């Protein structure tokens, strides 16, 4: 059993029995200030419309991606799902090569090739990339790129299970915008892929904070045997969202500047992170932009005040706690304790996600039919294609029997094609 599949299980059993009012059965409020529910209705078994008509006018549905396979394809049922897909891709983002391999594994695309060729959609409605980004985050905040669906509301949803969600299409689009304009996240001095890695980890770490908040509240529910998280959302968060007093979003942004996890994954020092992120954080709407925790004396004081808001479900209070009793202490929990999902749109993506890498038998059939004097020499899990006296070694995953990223790139280069063109040709055979 995966670690995330055990999270909240004993707590759910206890609270469901003794504190049933701790959970929403319906009518969970939208998770951000725009009033739009990014991932659809609570426990809705129908296809779930995206709210991203701002971005993709044709809309979309939630589809979780697990090892290149698409789920929730309109049937409304999970055939199977992975709670680790998001974490596996994110952990691979420590360097560009590993990140590229992860994108190949999960989406069947050469991400560098895609970023080079893809023309961002902002050209249709905005004069420049900076204005497009500003308009986007003004509407959605960080929910433009990812979301956290709390266990207390989505504990039994078959369509959108509780956990962290990241939207690769939206992140790629935004990274392309930023690199084009060379204004945010150091885009003037790095590759588009590096911009994507930085935005990916900003989103990941931001949504992880929301999990820490819910975990923190759940501890007090167990101790006090009364609802904590739900009253906090209904009495505090709803009242302050979209204002400067929205501490949960403000602190979710603030933790980005001091996160050792983010620094480690991106290979940056604290000062470098602040220099890169602060100009971007400043364009976010009310609540999000208060990453300094004003009017509190310090970020630490803001965290303590926020913790008391959760515990006592009061916006303005004179109650005090210490640093020991804040969501910050939940950082000790393994990040993979929260289920993590990747989401794609319903319509055919302009980003050419292939989703399934070509299988060994497909590649072999292609080589037999398209390489006139081709031959195959078996050597363990490898295949050697000989074309015009050039040897091309192809490696395949031992379990899935799919061609690996380096091999498909080598074969595409030899054939004078883009990777996506070669995949299309392989599948036409």
Residue 153 has pLDDT above 60, yes or no: yes
Element (H, E) at 334: none
Separation between Cα atoms, residue 99 and residue 93, nearest integer Å: 4
- The span from the CA of 133 to the CA of 125, in Å, is 12
Task: Write the pLDDT tens digit of every residue in 279-306.
Answer: 999 989 889 999 999 889 999 999 999 9
**70 confidence band (pLDDT: 50, 70, 90):** very low
Residue 314 scores a pLDDT above 90: yes
Read off the pLDDT band of 84 (50, 70, 90).
low
More confident residue, 61 or 381: 381
- Strand, coil or helix: 250: helix
What SS3 state is found at 355?
Answer: coil
256: CB partners within 8 A, 6+ apart = 202, 205, 206, 262, 273, 277, 281, 291
Q: What is the pLDDT of residue 47?
A: 29
Q: Using a pLDDT cut of 70, give the percent of the chain over it.
A: 73
* pLDDT of 32 higher than 60: no
Q: What confidence category does residue 34 fall into, taking pLDDT thresholds of 50, 70 and 90? A: very low
Q: How many Cα atoms sit within 13 Å of 311 on the Cβ side?
A: 20
- Rounded distance between C-alpha atoms, residue 383 and residue 122, angstroms: 43
Contact 287, 244 (CB under 8 A): yes
Contacts of 1 (CB under 8 A, 6+ apart): none
pLDDT for 65 beyond 70:
no
Band the pLDDT of 50: cuts 50, 70, 90. Answer: very low
Q: What is the pLDDT of residue 373?
A: 52
More confident residue, 360 or 8: 8
pLDDT single digits (tens) 7-30: 899 999 999 999 999 998 766 765
251 vs 209: CA distance, rounded Å? 8
Out of 164-173, 209-218, 351-360, 376-385, which region has the weakest mean confidence (pLDDT)? 376-385
Q: Which residues pair with 146 in a beta bridge?
A: 166
151, with CB counted inside 10 A (0-12, 13-18, 19+), is buried
Is the confidence at residue 232, as pLDDT, over 90? yes
**Residue 164, pLDDT above cutoff 50:** yes
Nearest to 107 by CA among 89, 92, 94: 89
199: confidence class by pLDDT, cuts 50, 70, 90: very high
Span 403-412, mean pLDDT?
Answer: 80
């Amino acid at each position: 059993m995966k670690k995330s599949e055990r999270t909240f299980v004993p707590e759910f059993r206890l609270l469901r029995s003794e504190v049933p009012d701790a959970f929403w059965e319906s009518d969970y409020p939208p998770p951000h200030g725009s009033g739009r529910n990014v991932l659809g209705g609570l426990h809705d078994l129908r296809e779930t419309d995206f709210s991203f008509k701002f971005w993709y006018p044709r809309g979309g549905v939630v589809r979780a991606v697990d090892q290149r396979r698409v789920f929730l394809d309109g049937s409304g049922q999970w055939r199977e799902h992975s709670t680790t897909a998001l974490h596996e891709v994110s952990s691979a983002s420590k360097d560009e090569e590993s990140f590229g391999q992860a994108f190949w594994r999960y989406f069947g695309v050469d991400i560098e090739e895609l970023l080079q060729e893809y023309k961002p959609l902002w050209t249709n409605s905005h004069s420049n990339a900076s204005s497009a980004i500003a308009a986007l985050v003004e509407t959605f905040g960080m929910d433009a790129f990812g979301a956290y669906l709390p266990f207390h509301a989505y504990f039994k949803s078959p369509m959108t299970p509780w956990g962290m969600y990241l939207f690769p299409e939206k992140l790629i689009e935004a990274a392309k915008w930023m690199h084009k304009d060379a204004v945010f996240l150091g885009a003037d001095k790095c590759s588009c892929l590096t911009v994507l890695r930085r935005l990916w980890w900003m989103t990941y770490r931001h949504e992880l904070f929301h999990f820490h908040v819910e975990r923190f509240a759940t501890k007090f529910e167990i101790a006090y045997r009364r609802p904590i998280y739900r009253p906090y959302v209904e009495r505090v968060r709803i009242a302050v969202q979209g204002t400067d007093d929205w501490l949960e979003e403000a602190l979710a942004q603030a933790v980005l500047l001091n996160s050792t996890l983010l620094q480690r994954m991106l290979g940056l020092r604290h000062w470098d992170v602040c220099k890169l992120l602060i100009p971007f954080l400043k364009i976010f709407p009310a609540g999000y932009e208060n990453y300094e925790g004003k009017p509190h004396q310090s970020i630490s004081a803001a965290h303590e005040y926020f913790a008391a808001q959760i515990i006592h479900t009061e916006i303005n209070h004179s109650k005090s706690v210490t640093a020991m009793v804040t969501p910050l202490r939940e950082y000790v929990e393994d990040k993979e304790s929260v289920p993590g999902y990747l989401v794609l749109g319903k319509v055919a993506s302009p980003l050419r996600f292939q989703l399934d890498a070509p299988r060994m038998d497909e590649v072999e059939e292609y080589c037999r039919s398209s390489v006139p004097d081709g031959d195959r020499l078996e050597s363990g899990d490898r295949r050697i294609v000989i074309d015009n006296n050039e040897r091309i070694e192809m490696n395949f995953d031992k379990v899935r029997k799919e061609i690996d990223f380096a091999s498909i790139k080598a074969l595409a280069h030899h054939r004078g094609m883009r990777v996506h063109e070669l995949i299309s040709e392989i599948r036409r055979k």
